[in-house]
Amino acid sequence: MGIGSLAVAALLLTVLIAVWLYGQFVWSFTHWDLAEVRLTPFKSLAYLLMAGAFLGGTCAGLWIFSGAAWKNQRTNTTPARRPSR
């Protein structure tokens, strides 16, 4: 696995643990349940972020699967080693 894959897996695991800890302890035993928070002022920002994530993912997928990401890669130009006699 590459370093990027490991970083994404570590980030997802950290978020999962944080959500579990919040739900297990903070939500259950405190009054910090965010019931008074109103998200309607952030509705347009949320829609913009979701549309941006969708468009960015679509463009990145098309760029990768079309082959344009690897179009200008150099090939190995070193000569093959000849066996010793």
- How many of the other CB atoms lie within 10 Å of CB of 26? 13
Instruction: Give whole-number Cα distances, 38 to 17, 31, 34, 74, in Å.
Output: 25, 16, 9, 53
Same domain, 4 and 28: yes
Position 44 in a domain:
yes
Between CA 81 and CA 75 the distance in angstroms is 16
pTM to 2 decimal places: 0.47
Between CA 7 and CA 15 the distance in angstroms is 12
Q: What is the pLDDT of residue 79?
A: 65
The whole domain housing 2 covers 1-35
End-to-end CA distance of the chain: 39
Same domain, 13 and 28: yes
Same domain, 21 and 42: no
Same domain, 31 and 52: no
pLDDT at 5 over 90: no
Q: How confident is the model over 26-77, as pLDDT tens digits?
A: 878 887 777 788 989 999 999 999 999 999 999 988 988 888 888 887 666 6
Between CA 30 and CA 18 the distance in angstroms is 16
